[in-house]
């Protein structure tokens, strides 16, 4: 059985071009929807994939009608292949039921894997360079333990507020509060009444 899938991104766009092309390909059934390809919830596509059986062929007008990204597209086509379902894209002339079509798909998949490898290499190289300069991965702490102790000492002055202390260290008031709480008992020194701190501003 030949099944077609058509999609446009907005309700203002027209499906006629895709539907006509799919009809010419002999589709016995067509699932269509007006929805962004970035949307994870595409109910018509979900129903379409469920309806496909071994020996069936799924046809789309263009590759980007099926996948949200090249990786999503490849995963979908590979899943179909594992189920014994053929795939055909009209515009790109890819047909996994032919030797040439299978070759084209494998080339696309290889290029996508090559791209992922390059990204991984760039990330690893960046991390290695950062480590060589004495920096480590992960999020940098906004306030060190030493800075927090200094903040506690500053807050023993009743004329200094937490807002001023936070500004001194270049952090937000919530960040300062969090650092003081993590410091434990020393943070008690910062409570109004123990340090004479004015009411929070």
β-strand pairing of 29-34 with 2-8 = parallel
Cα–Cα distances in angstroms (integers) from residue 113 to residues 22, 81, 89, 101, in the given order: 30, 18, 21, 18
- Whether 9 is catalytic is yes
Contact 47, 3 (CB under 8 A): no
d(CA 54, CA 163): 67
Contact 102, 94 (CB under 8 A): no
Contacts for 132 with CB less than 8 Å, ≥ 6 apart: none
The DSSP code for 48 is: H
Catalytic residue among 9, 89, 194, 195: 9
Catalytic residues: 9
């Amino acid at each position: 059985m030949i099944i077609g899938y058509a999609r446009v991104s907005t309700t203002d766009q027209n499906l006629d071009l895709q539907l006509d092309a799919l009809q010419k390909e002999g589709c016995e059934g067509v699932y269509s929807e007006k929805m962004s390809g970035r949307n994870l919830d595409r109910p018509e596509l979900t129903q379409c994939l469920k309806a496909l059986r071994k020996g069936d062929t799924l046809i789309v007008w263009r590759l980007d009608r099926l996948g949200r990204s090249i990786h999503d597209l490849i995963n979908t086509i590979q899943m179909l292949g594992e189920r014994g379902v053929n795939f055909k894209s009209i515009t790109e002339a890819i047909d996994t039921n032919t030797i040439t079509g299978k070759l084209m798909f494998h080339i696309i998949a290889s290029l996508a894997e090559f791209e992922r490898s390059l990204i991984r290499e760039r990330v690893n190289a960046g991390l290695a360079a950062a480590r060589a300069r004495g920096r480590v991965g992960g999020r940098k702490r906004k306030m060190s333990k030493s800075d927090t102790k200094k903040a506690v000492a500053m807050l023993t002055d009743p004329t200094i507020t937490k807002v001023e202390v936070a500004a001194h260290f270049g952090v937000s008031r919530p960040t300062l509060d969090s650092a003081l709480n993590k410091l434990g008992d020393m943070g008690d020194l910062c409570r109004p009444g123990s340090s004479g701190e004015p009411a929070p501003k």
